[in-house]
Structure 1
Amino acid sequence: MVQFVTWVSRYLLAFTFIFSGFVKGIDPLGSAYKFGDYFMAFGLDFLEPFALQFSFILCAAELFIGLLLLFRVKNLVAVWGAFLFMLMFTPLTFILAIYDPVSDCGCFGDAIILTNWETFFKNLPLFAASIFMLIHRKRIDPTFPKVYSHVIAGGLLIISFIPSFHGYNNLPLIDFRPYSIGTNIQEAMSFPKGAPLDEYKTILYYQKDGVEKEFTQDNFPWQDSTWQFVDSKSVLIQKGYTPPITDFSLTNFDGWSQTDSILNYEGYFILAVSHRLDKTNEESFAQLNELYFKARELGIGFACITASPPYEIDDFTSKTGVAFPFLLADEILLKTVVRSNPGVILLKHGAIIGKWHYKNIPESNYFEGDILSKSITNQQGNRTMLWMCIMILVLALGKILIAPFSIAKIDKHL
């Protein structure tokens, strides 16, 4: 029985660590933004410049520990690594749950959003599993001879960094955010017919003889003049429907909204996105400028949206010589729209039909002819790559899970 619980604990931790490390690793910038939130919340602003490095290390470490556990390589490193991770993060998530300095911990990136309390309760069985596995670590037999374990562990370590490096130099392989390709922004901002709304209860505070008491709208002492009204507040009692997108707003320098005109634009519209011009890749703006002139020639709309203030935009345009117009938007929104600075998204009637990292911006002739068909072809290529990765993973897991010696050992100890 002990052997079986050890087996379950190992796979539980392995799959959790692999999933957590992978979904965060394919979006290292998103993980870096979350680290920035933590640093700001805990007064560690001086660490914010190193958020991306922390992101790479954390994602790779989780994935590495999970792979070691899965393949039973370097068992001592894997078991202690899992235990120390849970020893650190379980109390941390408890603190987050109590004080709520950050809305969600980001433990599964944007793939699964958990509240801080949900994260803490999720960590409890994982922490228990890591303790149990640490105590019974000698029951975990290594898959490979010791002479090969160093080489295999080194290979797994290299593999653990691949998702983050790919995600940094390209857009995330899987886009879990509400601005993925195929999303119609207008529809994602709307309320479906019959969708439930937020329900609130009003609490009224009255005072009498120095004693303050709470009342509702049903029982407050409106006929008793000896009670003096003090205050009131609305309390959410049931959360209603929240659209996937709630903050997509674009304005010009005068503060006038340009959102509807862009989302309702007849034809294609290219949006270059740079959340901060002082942190952008300036070299790519020469290609964006060329793309702007081609778009104007083809009747395609074009604008660059940024959160930089107008004076920085003026300095930037003077420095780079770009001719396209700029619009303003919230920085967090722009970081969410595309994980690249700059990045490019292609709209048609408010629907996102293309997204590109600045290292993969298509040549201007891409926007000639049937653009929609080209975008669909690109999407099919990305899906093929994703399915290949999934199939390789499934085959690897299948080989491990049905290994005869593993089943025999479990049966022997039951």
Structure 2
Amino acid sequence: MKLLHLISRIVVGITFIFSGVVKGIDPLGTAYRFEDYFLVWGTPWMLPAALTLSILMSTLEFTLGVVVLLNLKPRINSWLLLVVMLFFTGLTLNDAIFDPVPDCGCFGDAIILTNWQTFYKNIILLIFTLILFAYRNKTRDRYGNLVSYGSAVLIVAMFAGFSLWNYNHLPILDFREWKKGNKMYVENPQPVKYYLIYRNKATGEIQEYLSPDYPYNDSVWMQQWEFVEQRVENPNISPGSTLQILDEEGNDFTETFIRHPGCQYIVISWDLEAADTTALKNLNEFALKTEEDGCGFIALTATLPEKVEEIKQQLGLSYEFFYADDIVLKSMVRANPGLMLMDSGIVIDKWHFNDLPAYEEVILTYPPKPAH
């Protein structure tokens, strides 16, 4: 039983620590998951609390994981752990059955699980939790109150500070598509394959054909077989394939800017009205200097064009704005606004508005490469 208890502590403790860390690294990402739930539940009035709940949740998970792993106050932590696991197991069962959101974000963007996978994971953790709960009165608390409670308070304070630092800067680890070094397009696109699935009306036999290699001009065959569905194999899906950059008239400039053959700076502000105005104004001078060096400079937002023009007038912004989906923009950089440097479709670097460098500092690390 002692060995089983030890294994349970290790499994539950490490899982909670990992879950807390990946959420704490990207508190905005977890806040977006909370917002998804609030909208599905019809409680939009809770949206302002999303970030606070994100930090509290990651801190709770990390602290509980450390406490369980070190076996601090086992009688208390086993009760708390049981309550937490019962709540999340019930929540993920609801997610699995009704699918209100496609991904609960239990491991942030580090590991993406389906709702059923998340539920099965919680069932396994719940089994280990019940073992810890059953053994709670049989294990000795090796530490006194001062050490146990003092350690917990210290862990809470340090981890909450860590999560806040990641919020006020960029995440120390980027698990998303738009991370530094990623190429955001397919260099040598391959043909897209379309498969047509037909069913024999008499026998129920299923056949799959690569279009257009099927007997569509055989009238007898067409009478005997009925179309079921189409399957598409697209080998050209790139990390940035969900981004579409449009101007006010709806013209698509995605390829123009993403595959720009040289230095391309992109300001990203999914909500211009909520963006840091000081940073937006400071980027004016930055933009002028990039253009002098032959680099591209644009801004992307999901704000309505009329509001964009109003804000541009108020702040005296001279750089050009284009439009994209807010969900994609939020995945590109965890800042409003943020700045991204690309070169020939590769993400070179990204900056939070709290860490925007002077242009002279940037070119020391990344000398300008004008379009060629």
TM-score, scaled to structure 2: 0.87
- The percent of aligned pairs where both chains have the same amino acid is 31
| Structure 2 residue aligned with 1:144 | 143
Correspondence for 1:270 among 244, 265, 268:
265
Alpha-carbon distance in structure 2 between the residues aligned to 1:367 and 1:237: 43
What amino acid is the match of 1:361?
L
C-alpha deviation, 1:157, in angstroms = 1.3
Contact 1:270 1:303 in 2 (8 A): yes
What amino acid is the match of 1:332?
I
C-alpha deviation, 1:199, in angstroms = 5.6
Contact 1:274 1:280 in 2 (8 A): yes
| Structure 1 residue aligned with 2:333 | 338
Contact 2:269 2:329 in 1 (8 A): yes
| Structure 2 residue aligned with 1:250 | 245
SS at match of 2:137: helix
C-alpha deviation, 1:217, in angstroms = 6.5
Deviation string, structure 1 residues 315-370 (Cα, Å, up to 9, x no partner): 11011111100011111110000010000000111111110110001112124345
- Cα distance, 1:324–1:263 mapped onto 2, change above 3 Å: same
**Structure 2 residue 197 is matched with structure 1 residue 201:** yes
SS at match of 1:105: coil
| Structure 2 residue aligned with 1:397 | none
Correspondence for 1:359 among 334, 345, 354:
354
Alpha-carbon distance in structure 1 between the residues aligned to 2:76 and 2:196: 51
- Cα distance, 1:117–1:107 mapped onto 2, change above 3 Å: same
| Structure 1 residue aligned with 2:314 | 319
Alpha-carbon distance in structure 2 between the residues aligned to 1:152 and 1:198: 59
**Structure 1 runs (4+) greater than 4 angstroms displaced:** 196-200, 202-206, 213-218, 235-242
| Structure 1 residue aligned with 2:117 | 118
Alpha-carbon distance in structure 2 between the residues aligned to 1:113 and 1:11: 22
Alpha-carbon distance in structure 2 between the residues aligned to 1:180 and 1:78: 37
- Runs (5+) with no aligned partner, structure 1: 207-212, 374-414
C-alpha deviation, 1:285, in angstroms = 1.1
What amino acid is the match of 1:132?
I
C-alpha deviation, 1:138, in angstroms = 2.5
C-alpha deviation, 1:372, in angstroms = 5.8
What amino acid is the match of 1:58?
M
- Runs (5+) with no aligned partner, structure 2: 209-218
- Cα distance, 1:25–1:197 mapped onto 2, change above 3 Å: farther
C-alpha deviation, 1:81, in angstroms = 2.1
Contact 1:35 1:51 in 2 (8 A): yes
Alpha-carbon distance in structure 1 between the residues aligned to 2:197 and 2:49: 44
| Structure 1 residue aligned with 2:214 | none
Alpha-carbon distance in structure 2 between the residues aligned to 1:27 and 1:172: 6
| Structure 1 residue aligned with 2:170 | 171
Contact 1:198 1:241 in 2 (8 A): no
Alpha-carbon distance in structure 2 between the residues aligned to 1:323 and 1:155: 47
| Structure 1 residue aligned with 2:157 | 158
Contact 2:271 2:336 in 1 (8 A): yes
SS at match of 2:197: strand
**Structure 2 residue 80 is matched with structure 1 residue 84:** no
- Cα distance, 1:237–1:167 mapped onto 2, change above 3 Å: same
Alpha-carbon distance in structure 1 between the residues aligned to 2:95 and 2:30: 17
Contact 2:185 2:241 in 1 (8 A): no
C-alpha deviation, 1:307, in angstroms = 0.6
Contact 1:13 1:82 in 2 (8 A): no
- Cα distance, 1:190–1:75 mapped onto 2, change above 3 Å: farther
Contact 1:23 1:111 in 2 (8 A): yes
- Cα distance, 1:214–1:341 mapped onto 2, change above 3 Å: farther
C-alpha deviation, 1:287, in angstroms = 1.3
Deviation string, structure 1 residues 211-270 (Cα, Å, up to 9, x no partner): xx988569xxx979x99x9x9652769998854332121111111111122123232111
C-alpha deviation, 1:144, in angstroms = 2.4
Correspondence for 1:297 among 292, 296, 309:
292
What amino acid is the match of 1:357?
H
Alpha-carbon distance in structure 2 between the residues aligned to 1:370 and 1:355: 13
Contact 1:36 1:51 in 2 (8 A): yes
Moved more, 98-107 or 40-49: 40-49
- The alignment of Structure 1 onto Structure 2 pairs a total of residues equal to 358
What amino acid is the match of 1:142?
D
Contact 1:267 1:300 in 2 (8 A): yes
C-alpha deviation, 1:74, in angstroms = 2.9
Higher helix share: 1
C-alpha deviation, 1:185, in angstroms = 0.8
- Cα distance, 1:243–1:367 mapped onto 2, change above 3 Å: closer
Alpha-carbon distance in structure 2 between the residues aligned to 1:50 and 1:173: 23
SS at match of 1:142: coil
Contact 1:199 1:239 in 2 (8 A): no
- Cα distance, 1:299–1:87 mapped onto 2, change above 3 Å: same
- Cα distance, 1:235–1:259 mapped onto 2, change above 3 Å: closer
**Structure 2 residue 181 is matched with structure 1 residue 182:** yes
SS at match of 1:368: helix
- Cα distance, 1:22–1:214 mapped onto 2, change above 3 Å: same
| Structure 1 residue aligned with 2:274 | 279
